Amino acid sequence: MARLGFIGLGVMGSEMVIRLLQKGHEVTGYNRTRSKAERLIERGMSWAETPRAVAEATDVTFTMVTNSAALSAITNGEDGLLAGLKPGHIHIDISTVSPEVSRALAEKVREKGADMIDSPVSGSVITLQKGQLSVMVGGRRKTFDKVKSILEDIGPKVTYVGDNGLALVLKIATNLSLAVQMLAFSEGVLLAEKAGISREVAVDVLTHSAIASPMVQYRGPFVLQLPAEAWFDVNMMQKDMLLAMDMGRALNVPLPSTAISNEILTAARGMGLAKEDFAVMFDVLAQMSGIRR
């Protein structure tokens, strides 16, 4: 079993720590807000006061934060992760940030004699709890080989994609489809509802039809009732959509459905729904259709 560190104990990060503890790993964690870590401490996770302290106490450190700015905040400075790295340490970043930002950080990690891989995941709290999460990895192959078994303790589907940053490219390519699917699903539900079919029946039929991807199956019911705590909020989803659109421009790949979905997310923010799960895209379309939740 490895000495693991985990920085960023949000909804998904906390569930990953639980799985790692269940697999018998020793985990030391840090979060900007300690209260989010209390239930993990009760389960056996050790607490560190800074990201640097996490790195100093471990051999492999995970980070999972909201964006590039947050990643910079926990890695730089005298209390940052970089300051605590030692030769041979492996940093696994699960955050969804731009590939360029990730590659630049990997170079800083290597200057310390350590190494870094980007390892974003695809799935939700439900798929994580069921042990069905998909993990993508970008970085040096030899580093991937060293930590593959640890990553398999988080999710059984672990795929080596290529060099640093490429797993993030694939993650962004995956996430743009989540918003696009949610928008299309919402359109279908609203069309059925306005024609006289109850929303509950429409959701039941569509989530058991040919369009029912895993995402539609677990997030489709959110058009009936949003979760008390967002699994993946509007701001987070729009961050990924903007990353996708930046990549599309750079690579000359048109992303028309991504652009339209992004505008619906902007409308959600304008309606004060930025912290709701991005399934609230349904509410935007519903209001445009003259329907209330």
The pLDDT tens digits for 111-147 are 999 999 999 998 878 888 888 889 999 999 999 999 9
Domain count for the chain: 2
Domain extent at residue 17: 3-164
pLDDT at 124: 79
Domain-embedded: residue 147: yes
> Are 102 and 155 within one domain?
yes
> Are 90 and 219 within one domain?
no
> Are 273 and 198 within one domain?
yes
Domain-embedded: residue 97: yes
pLDDT at 125: 81
Domain-embedded: residue 193: yes
Residue 249 neighbours by CB under 8 Å, 6+ apart: none
pLDDT tens sequence across 48-107 = 999 999 999 999 999 999 999 999 999 999 999 999 999 999 999 999 999 999 999 999
pLDDT at 5: 97
CATH number of the domain residue 259 falls in: 1.10.1040.10
Domain-embedded: residue 62: yes
> Are 154 and 243 within one domain?
no
pLDDT tens sequence across 264-282 = 999 999 999 999 999 999 9
Q: What is the mean pLDDT of the chain?
A: 95
Domain-embedded: residue 293: no
Give the count of alpha carbons within 13 A of 259, CB side only: 9
> Are 106 and 188 within one domain?
no
pLDDT at 97: 94
Q: Where a domain ends, among 164, 188, 219?
A: 164
pLDDT at 127: 81
> Are 150 and 209 within one domain?
no
Q: Where a domain ends, among 97, 130, 164?
A: 164
> Are 30 and 160 within one domain?
yes
Residue 285 neighbours by CB under 8 Å, 6+ apart: 183, 186, 187, 190, 264
Question: Once rounded to an integer, what is the mean pLDDT over residues 192-209?
Answer: 97
> Are 152 and 178 within one domain?
no
pLDDT at 194: 96
- The token pair at 278 is 């991005």
> Are 216 and 127 within one domain?
no
Torsion angle of C-alpha atoms 115, 118, 123, 129, degrees rounded to 10: 10
Q: Where a domain ends, among 125, 142, 164?
A: 164
CATH number of the domain residue 115 falls in: 3.40.50.720
pLDDT at 131: 82
> Are 73 and 190 within one domain?
no
Domain-embedded: residue 26: yes
pLDDT at 137: 98
Residue 197 pLDDT grade (very low, low, confident, very high; cuts 50, 70, 90) = very high
pLDDT at 173: 95
Torsion angle of C-alpha atoms 284, 288, 291, 293, degrees rounded to 10: 10
pLDDT(170) > 80:
yes
> Are 26 and 129 within one domain?
yes
- Closest Cα to residue 16, out of 170, 25, 232? 25
pLDDT(293) > 80:
no
Q: Out of 113-127, 199-213, 231-245, which region has the weakest mean confidence (pLDDT)?
A: 113-127
> Are 157 and 174 within one domain?
no
